Amino acid sequence: AIAAWWRRALQLLGEDVPLRQVVARYFVGEVGKYLPGGVWTVVGRAELLRRHGIRRAAAYGSVALSLLALYLSALLVVAAGLPVLLSGGDGTGPVAVLLALPLGLVALHPRVLGPVLDVAGRLARRPLDLPIPTWRSSVGLVVGYLPAWVLVGGATWAVARALDPSAPLAEVAVAAVLSWVVGFLLVPVPSGAGVREAAFVAAAGSLDPGIAAATAVATRVLFVLVDAVGAAIGAARLRSGRAGRAS
Average pLDDT along the chain, 247 residues, taken 10 residues at a time: 94 94 93 76 90 90 94 94 76 73 91 86 80 94 97 97 95 94 73 79 91 95 94 91 57
Taking each helix axis from N to C end, the angle separating 195-203 and 169-185, rounded to the nearest 10 degrees, works out to 150
Pairwise CA distance, residues 48 & 236, whole Å: 14
Residue 93: predicted pLDDT: 63
Q: What b/e string do you get for 209-242 counting C-beta neighbours within 10 Å, with b at 16 or more? A: eebbbbbbeebbeebeeebeebbeebeebbeeee
CA distance 69 to 73: 6
pLDDT at res. 32: 82
Please report the pLDDT score of residue 35 as a whole number. Answer: 76
What is residue 12's predicted lDDT score, i.e. its pLDDT?
95
User: H-helix or E-strand containing 217?
Assistant: helix 209-246
Say which residues have a Cβ less than 8 Å from residue 63's Cβ, sequence separation at least 6.
6, 9, 41, 42, 45, 46, 49
DSSP string, 88-155: HS--HHHHHHTTHHHHHHHHTSHHHHHHHHHHHHHHHTS--------HHHHHHHHHHTHHHHHHHHHH
Contact 205, 88 (CB under 8 A): yes
pLDDT of residue 74: 96
pLDDT at 110: 92
**Please, are residues 75 and 180 in contact by the beta-carbon 8 Å criterion?**
no
18-36 pLDDT, tens digit each? 999 999 999 999 888 877 6
Instruction: In whole angstroms, give the CA distance from residue 234 to residue 211.
Output: 34
Q: Length of the chain in residues, anyone?
A: 247
State the pLDDT at residue 88.
63
| DSSP tag of 191 | G
Phi-psi category of residue 14: left, alpha or beta, with phi > 0 → left and psi -120 to 50 → alpha: left
CB 45 within 8 A of CB 29: yes
The pTM (predicted TM-score) of the whole model is 0.89
pLDDT of residue 190: 58
